[in-house]
């Protein structure tokens, strides 16, 4: 059975973070919008969030790791191989995290 059917977002997703990242991450309509990309695949995610900044993103990643929930990072959803869809938590980076602020080749970091 896919993880999306075994785990309800309310069991692993704290309300304060949901408020910061997205109005309703488990809303059926929102989940349906993120169930496809440019490929022929359709996978309904358990939840969708759109972090507002890198601190929100770090919190999302940490909480998902603690709960063992798979993450799918999503940009424009233009993948033709199904890379932008998944059964766990879809993280929409295209809404608020839309540019590169700093690039440090020595530290090998981008923010």
- The mean predicted confidence, pLDDT, of the chain is 76
User: How much is the pLDDT for 106?
Assistant: 94
Look at the pTM and tell me if it is higher than 0.85.
Answer: no
pLDDT band at 19 (very low <50, low <70, confident <90, very high): very low
User: How much is the pLDDT for 107?
Assistant: 92
pLDDT at 75 > cutoff 80: yes
Residue 98 corresponds to which tokens in the numbers above?
Answer: 């839309």
What is the greatest pairwise CA distance in the chain? 44
CA distances from 47 to 20, 101, 105 (A): 14, 28, 34
Beta bridge partners of 70: none
pLDDT at 17 > cutoff 70: no
d(CA 17, CA 32): 21
What is the percent of the chain with per-residue pLDDT over 70, rounded to a whole number? Answer: 77
The conformation of residue 80, written as its DSSP 8-state character, comes to: S
Q: Which residue has the higher pLDDT, 10 or 96?
A: 96
Q: Which residue has the tokens 């999503």?
A: 74
Distance of CA 73 to the CA centre of its chain: 5
Give mean pLDDT, residues 36-44.
Answer: 87
């Amino acid at each position: 059975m896919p993880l999306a059917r075994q785990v309800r977002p309310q069991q692993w997703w704290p309300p304060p973070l949901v408020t910061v990242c997205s109005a309703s991450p488990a809303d059926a309509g929102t989940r349906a919008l993120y169930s496809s990309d440019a490929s022929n695949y359709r996978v309904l995610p358990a939840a969708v969030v759109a972090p507002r900044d890198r601190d929100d993103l770090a919190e999302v990643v940490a909480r998902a790791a603690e709960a063992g929930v798979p993450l799918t990072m999503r940009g424009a959803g233009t993948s033709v191989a199904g890379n932008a869809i998944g059964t766990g938590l879809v993280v929409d980076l295209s809404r608020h995290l839309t540019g590169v602020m700093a690039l440090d080749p020595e530290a090998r970091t981008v923010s």
